[in-house]
Amino acid sequence: MEAKKFYEIYLDIKNPFPHQLQFFHLALNDKFPILVKAPTGSGKTEMAIVLLDKNQIETGTEC
């Protein structure tokens, strides 16, 4: 699934920040550890949801 589509469908974020999009691709490609430094209110918590939904994103199935 495309990063922007995921954020819009599952998190109701129509315009994700660039660091959210980069995190999405790194997480889906198992490029760990990932260190994110971003201001308060810039969607760091929402990025963690990507990890929780990783299996659903990869397989297209419901959790």
Q: How far is CA 50 from CA 3, 22, 29, 58, in A?
A: 10, 12, 12, 11
Q: What is the pLDDT of residue 13?
A: 93
Per-residue pLDDT of the chain (63 residues; tens, 9 = 90+): 789 998 998 889 999 999 999 999 998 898 999 999 999 999 999 988 888 877 777 777 765
Give residue 39's pLDDT. 95
Backbone angles phi, psi at 35, to 5 degrees: -110, 125
Q: What is the pTM of this model?
A: 0.81
